[in-house]
Chain A
Amino acid sequence: ILNVEQSPQSLHVQEGDSTNFTCSFPSSNFYALHWYRWETAKSPEALFVMTLNGDEKKKGRISATLNTKEGYSYLYIKGSQPEDSATYLCAPSYNTDKLIFGTGTRLQVFP
């Protein structure tokens, strides 16, 4: 059973704070890691797809890094805004397109 862990489970920050989450996953047979942003009542929004060790992706104020050898990824949000409030899911895949989702990090940004 593949175990994908994300930490922390929930996070409350003030507007303007920077924050980061961790996704840990088995590195054996790793293929790709997906990060999703999941807002209330919306379908998950794909943020990044990362495949190579050392990859760093950026989208606006959000960035992510990947370490495939040790099996972890960090997601960073710079200057959090209330609209960043969402659940952030990581989902690695292992040689298939089937995604193994973590339980998510629920971020709430207070004005």
Chain B
Amino acid sequence: AAGVIQSPRHLIKEKRETATLKCYPIPRHDTVYWYQQGPGQDPQFLISFYEKMQSDKGSIPDRFSAQQFSDYHSELNMSSLELGDSALYFCASSLATGPYGVTDTQYFGPGTRLTVL
């Protein structure tokens, strides 16, 4: 079965550079989620989209932005990178069945490991 695809799998950037992470949800899934997991930390919810509209927002820095496109893939844009942005970024997708879809089973991608030097 098709899974959530994230690209790239690994990314190395310098401070103050920008990075774009991509997430391709499972076909027919209409909801995507982004999580950040710093070294030794629990995954932190960043942002989610349902039907191309932002549905919820967590602890996402103002330097980060994200969107979901018409084909339901999502991109997380990160600017002015800082050392503290080094983390594993998970994307998950789901098919919404409830009012917000947040309680649906979420399928995570393999994550993008971002290293900021």
Query: Which residues of A line the B interface, CB within 8 A?
Result: 9-10, 34, 36, 40-46, 86-87, 97-99, 101, 103-104, 106
Contacts of A103 in B (CB 8 A): 105-107
Contact B42 A97 (CB under 8 A): no
Partner of B111 from A36, A44, A86, A98 at Cβ < 8 Å: A98
Interface size bracket, B side = 20 to 34
Q: Please encode chain B, from 91 to 103, with 1 for each CB lying within 8 Å of some chain A CB and 0 for all others.
A: 0000000001011
The minimal Cβ–Cβ distance linking A45 to chain B, given in whole angstroms, is 8
Nearest opposing residue in chain B for A34, CB measure: B42
Interface majority SS on A: helix, strand, loop or mixed?
loop
Q: How far is the CB of B53 from chain A (nearest CB, A)?
A: 15
- Contact among A46, A97, A98, A104 for B106, CB-based, below 8 A: A104
Q: How far is the CA of A45 from the CA of B45 in the complex (A)?
A: 10
| Across the A-B interface, the 6 shortest Cβ-Cβ residue pairs | A43-B45, A40-B102, A46-B42, A101-B108, A41-B56, A43-B44
Q: List which B30-88 residues lie within 8 A (CB) of chain A.
A: 35, 37, 39-40, 42-45, 56, 58-59, 88
Bound complex: CA A99 to CA B103 (Å) = 20
Q: A98-B88, A106-B105 are in contact. Are A44 and B43 (CB under 8 A)?
A: yes
Does the CB pair B105–A41 fall under 8 Å? no
With A36-B42, A97-B40 known as contacts, the answer to whether A43 contacts B108 (CB < 8 A) is no
Residue of B39, B100, B108 contacting most chain A CB atoms (<10 Å): B108
- Complex contacts, B106 vs chain A, CB 8 Å: 87, 103-104
Whether B108 and A40, one on each chain, are in contact in the complex, defined by CB atoms closer than 8 angstroms, is no
Contact B39 A43 (CB under 8 A): no
Tell me the smallest distance from the CB of A25 to a CB of chain B, in Å. 15
Q: How far is the CB of B87 from chain A (nearest CB, A)?
A: 10
Residues in B neighbouring A104, C-beta threshold 8 A:
105-106
Whether B43 pairs with A99 at a CB distance below 8 angstroms is yes
Q: What are 7 pairs between A and B in contact, CB < 8 Å?
A: A41-B56, A41-B102, A42-B45, A87-B106, A97-B40, A98-B111, A106-B104
